[in-house]
Amino acid sequence: MQESFIQAYPKLLQPDIQVAGLWLAHGDEPLLHQWLIDALRVQWRAQNYAIKRIELISVKTWQEVLSELGSQSLFDDASAIIVTGNHKPDKAIISELERFATDAQTGAHSNSLLWLTPKQDKRAQSSKWFAPFAKYGHIIDCNFYDERARQQLLQIQAKQFGLKLSKDAWQLLMSHTEHHLLSAYQTLWRLSYLFAPQLAEQGDGIALDIGDLQAALVSDAQFSVFDLSDAMLAGHTSQVVKIIAQLRATDEPTTLVLWAISKDMRHIMQLMDGQDPQSLGIWRSKQSLYQQACRRHSRETTAAWPALLYRSDQAIKGLVRQPAWELLLQAALELSGQRLFS
């Protein structure tokens, strides 16, 4: 049976699942491999398995793996072997793996074998060594093919932490962490500790918005990106320069500043196209500021914004030589109504 990680992982979090037999996880996301091990380890321990890791240093190491799976223990009900390394089993080992898998299906034993490999392409998946896992075992594709799957997985982890993020908070989290899985997960982990007292009181989870997430994105600045947003929308250019300078001096993440500017620019362009502020999720207290900003701009001035935001993103990633803070200041002043270049 073959499944994506996002399909298989929620099932592994359920109690008392069957873990005997062959498991193969392939992919280039080490964190997904670790989460898979963590989920299976809970099941193995609950079912009194002896857990051991074996690194494949050659094809012959497979004999050690099979030997461990066939050994008996006085204190454990079964064995679980985590195998790492990319040495493929030979014909004799493939036959042994098929026998191991069919015996697990019939209940002859309860042992479990998990093999972690790099991503396997279609050619590799048609190889003979892959067949026992595909026919008799479980194959989990630990790769992401779109950003939606990445966020879905993070939502599962957020639920495990007892957190419920709003749509805007998710956008901020993904933008701030540059869609990096580990960084986003660490931010969720930090949030769970920050709101631990409230989680203990409520028990069924806590709903978090942008302001709550901002508290987890550590900043020592006198101003926040929300102060920058208010200054840009109000057209206070001198205040914009002051806030940008302070954010830069205190090492505010450039990704967070770009997120604030791009969000406001996007909302202004959408409002000028006739969209309703409530449908865009604009807070009632800020709607007058957005309307004020719309009156200050025309379609001609906003036409250059997407290119400026794109260049700012490139600068943050080091793809252009211009300093990111210069472009962020230019974008912030453009939004506030002060154009630096024609």
Name, in order, each residue with C-beta under 8 angstroms of 231's C-beta and a sequence gap of 6 or more: 239, 240, 243, 336
Domain termination residue (choose one: 112, 141, 170): 141
Count of structural domains within the chain: 3
The boundaries of the domain holding residue 286 are: 225-336
319 falls within a domain: yes
Give yes or no: residues 204 and 166 share one domain: yes
Last residue of a domain, one of 176, 192, 216: 216
Residue 193 sits in the same domain as residue 110: no
Among the candidates 109, 141, 173, a domain finishes at: 141
In a domain, 110, yes or no: yes
Note whether residue 195 is domain-resident.
Answer: yes
The reply to whether 108 falls in a domain is: yes
Q: Do residue 11 and residue 111 come from a single domain?
A: yes
What's CA 14's distance to the chain center, in Å? 21
Domain annotation covers residue 341: no
Is 119 found in the same domain as 161?
A: no
Structural domain includes residue 342: no
In terms of domains, do 117 and 157 share one? no
For residue 65, being part of any structural domain is answered with yes
Q: Are residues 77 and 41 in the same domain?
A: yes
Domain containing residue 19: CATH number: 3.40.50.300
Please return the burial class of 208, using the count of CB atoms within 10 Å of its CB with bins 0-12, 13-18 and 19+: buried
pLDDT for 200 equals 63
Q: State the CB neighbour count (10 A cutoff) for residue 112.
A: 25
pLDDT in tens, the chain (342 residues): 899 999 999 999 998 899 999 999 999 888 999 999 999 999 999 999 999 999 999 999 999 999 998 876 656 788 999 999 999 999 999 999 999 999 999 999 999 999 999 999 999 999 999 999 999 999 999 998 888 888 899 999 999 889 999 988 898 888 777 677 888 888 888 788 777 767 666 666 788 888 778 766 654 446 788 889 989 999 999 889 989 988 888 888 899 899 999 999 999 999 999 998 888 878 777 888 999 999 999 998 899 999 999 999 999 988 988 999 999 999 999 999 988 765
| Residues 11, 31 within the same domain | yes
Measured between alpha carbons, how far is residue 152 from residues 2, 131, 156, 209, 281 in Å?
A: 19, 30, 6, 18, 21
Same domain, yes or no: 85 and 118: yes
Nearest of 139, 170, 133 to residue 152 by alpha carbon: 170
Q: Distance between CA atoms of 325 and 331, rounded to whole angstroms?
A: 10
Does residue 98 share a domain with residue 17?
A: yes
Domain co-membership, 128 together with 12: yes
End-to-end CA distance of the chain: 60
Judgement on whether residues 9 and 120 belong to the same structural domain of the protein: yes
Predicted confidence at residue 9, as pLDDT, reads: 95
Asked if 252 and 174 sit in the same domain, the reply is: no
Query: Do the domain assignments include residue 234?
Result: yes
Which residues have a Cβ under 8 Å from the Cβ of 118 and sit 6 or more positions away?
26, 27, 28, 86
Residue 66's H or E segment, with its range, is: helix 61-70
